[in-house]
Amino acid sequence: MSSTKNNTLNSNQKKIPQIIAVTSGKGGVGKTNFSVNTALLLSKLNQKVLIIDADIHLGNVDVMFGISPDFTLVDVLHGSKSLKEIIKKTPYGVDFLPATSGVMDIIEGEDNIVLSIAQAFNEFQYDYDVILIDTGAGVSISTLSFVLGTDKIIVVVTPDPSSISDAYAMIKIINQYHDDAQIMMVANKVRNEEIGESLFYKMNLIVNKFLNTSLIFGGSIIDDTQVLASVHAQQPVVIRYPRSKAVINMQLISRRILKLPVRKSIPKDGNYFDRVREKLNNLDLEGTSA
Ligand SMILES: Nc1ncnc2c1ncn2[C@@H]1O[C@H](COP(=O)(O)OP(=O)(O)O)[C@@H](O)[C@H]1O
Ligand SMILES: [Mg+2]
């Protein structure tokens, strides 16, 4: 197994984390399952990983880890906890930051509090090689703020026609607001890998033609009953069934994630939370049609 570190060092010799948002057009396509298990697989590839649960309506990273957070980002925003205090260590070596509902209202309303979050984020983001953000589905302002705060975006798609058309709508908006984002597509719940590949080729063809951009193929994850069994057992499938087909598929995707071009310098427009806040205040989805 490769032990190559993917992160780069900036002029102050700090690691620059790769910040990756996982999203989709439609809910229930497997974002959380993918995020949690990919976080574990990246950590097995020697990456120090933080996973942020930014699905503010249906956040359930904690459920998949079988842990319950004592505090969330809301406690930080209210000033009763520091950001570092709410980061939960999971038994699997991956750290976890629960956002949960209410966050967006506060981020929108209280600038000085958010500023202190962004400052705190500046302190600890360099502890990680990869920060994975499990976002909500669909093109709401809150989801898009978390998605557009970064330039590496994984869109999870299933063969279901509504998942495909909603994913296209999502990619279109990402491209409209962030035309230099790297967008990786992962085909989930497919019968076999070939179906996943042809789903990617079809989607990429349409994206090439109508949006004049290209997607990166992350890979396919087959529809695997062992995923469902693990979710019911509240244990990541990587731990419960490490040799299952879905895990082997996700191992390949993790290696591809590490091959994405890395950022060489700290972005000039502030850190991740600064950008989420800026997007939240400036996004105007009116007139955006799918
Ligand atoms: N590859 C897969 N094979 C079988 N079931 C899957 C697979 N990926 C996800 N699921 C199941 O689909 C459901 C929704 O997954 P989840 O990760 O919660 O989706 P999302 O976060 O996109 O809403 C869960 O019950 C999960 O176990
Ligand atoms: Mg989810």
- What band does 266 get if pLDDT is binned at 50, 70 and 90? low
> What CA–CA distance (Å, rounded) separates 207 from 24?
15
Amino acid at 106: I
Q: Which pLDDT belongs to residue 58? A: 72
Tens digits of residue pLDDT in 6-53: 555 555 556 788 999 999 999 999 999 999 999 999 999 999 999 998
Asked if residue 248 has its Cβ within 6 Å of ligand 1, the reply is no
Rounded distance, CA 42 to CA 186, Å?
16
Domain assignments of the chain as residue spans, ordered by start: 15-282
Q: Is the CB of 109 under 6 A from ligand 1?
A: no
Q: Which of 135, 186, 228, 247 to mutate to test the pocket of ligand 1 (most atoms within 8 A of CB)?
A: 228
Measured distance CA(232)–CA(64) in Å, rounded: 9
pLDDT bucket at 204, cuts 50 / 70 / 90: very high
- Please determine, for residue 181, whether its predicted confidence score (pLDDT) is greater than 80: yes
Instruction: Identify the bridge partners of residue 53 per DSSP, sorted by sequence position.
Output: 98, 134
Kindly list the strands in the beta sheet with 216-222, ordered across the sheet, starting from the edge strand earlier in the chain.
88-89, 95-98, 49-54, 130-137, 18-24, 152-157, 182-190, 216-222
Residue nearest to atom 15 of ligand 1 (CA): 30
Nearest CA, atom 3, ligand 1:
223
Superfamily of domain 15-282, CATH level 4: P-loop containing nucleotide triphosphate hydrolases (3.40.50.300)
Binding site membership of 24 for ligand 1 (Cβ less than 6 Å)? yes
Cα angle 123-133-104, degrees, rounded to a multiple of 5: 80
CA distance 84 to 267: 22
How far does the centroid of ligand 1 lie from the alpha carbon of residue 223, in Å? 9
Least confident window among 66-75, 237-246, 281-290: 281-290
Ligand 1 contact via 228 beta carbon (within 6 Å):
yes
**Mean pLDDT, the chain, whole residue set:** 86
pLDDT for residue 107:
64
